[in-house]
Amino acid sequence: MQISERQVEIIEAAGKILTSSGVSGLTIKNLAKEMDFSESAVYRHFTSKEEIIIAMLEYLADNMDKRYSQAINAQQSPLEKFTLLFQNQFSFFKNNAHFVVAVFSDGLMEESQRINETILKIMAVKMKHLMPIVVEGQQKGVFTNSITSEELIHIIMGTFRLQMLKWRIANFQFDIERNGNNMIQALLTIIKNQKKE
């Protein structure tokens, strides 16, 4: 996805508005005001509010894909990879809370089918990186084989989504990295193979 510096600025300003005013507050008029632009200047970069939200979500999907690829390497154990994947995400969201708002906004999913498809793309990026870690962990006997890798992924991703939603609803008032690390450890306790010593 090619995105200009100006488009990134617009996405970040849109994220600020989403965070403070929600989906209904994100209008081209409010965006132009936030950026000290004319509305026509915003329209030169994006044709609509929907295009801005989709660009924001696609930017997040691309960013996640790159970050995960850089954070994880073949030499790490499945436990290290699993921990790094989630720590990387919590750290990113701590500094870019507007992306949490974009993914977890009430009303956003009702905005358009294209937005829903882009949210699914973000989930697919997460799955692309998480599935091989879980499968490797199961093959090496590190993670439980008592349920399928698909079921494990649902449990893991559902837990992550709930953690992010709680942070969003709490208006980002708690330390997502600390709570996130607790969540990682709790998940590992559940999914690790309980070998009889």
Q: Which of 3-17, 28-42, 135-149 holds the top average pLDDT?
A: 135-149
Report in angstroms the alpha-carbon separations of 94 from 2, 87, 159, 164. Answer: 25, 10, 17, 10
pLDDT of residue 196: 47
pLDDT at 21: 83
pLDDT above 80: residue 104: no
Quick check: 152 pLDDT over 90?
yes
Confidence band for 109, pLDDT divided at 50, 70 and 90: low
Short-list 130, 150, 140, 28, CA closest to 86:
130
- Residue of higher predicted confidence among 115 and 78: 78
- Tell me if residue 48 falls in helix, strand or coil: coil
pLDDT for residue 68? 92
State the Cα angle at 162 between 139 and 166, rounded to 5°: 145
Q: What is the C-alpha to C-alpha distance for residues 105 and 23, in angstroms, rounded to an integer?
A: 7
Q: 171 pLDDT exceeds 70?
A: yes
Give the per-residue pLDDT at 110: 64
pLDDT, tens digit, 9 for 90 and up, residues 20-76: 887 788 889 999 998 888 889 888 999 888 888 889 899 999 999 999 999 888 899
Enter the pTM of the model.
Answer: 0.85
What is the mean predicted confidence (pLDDT) over 97-116? Answer: 75
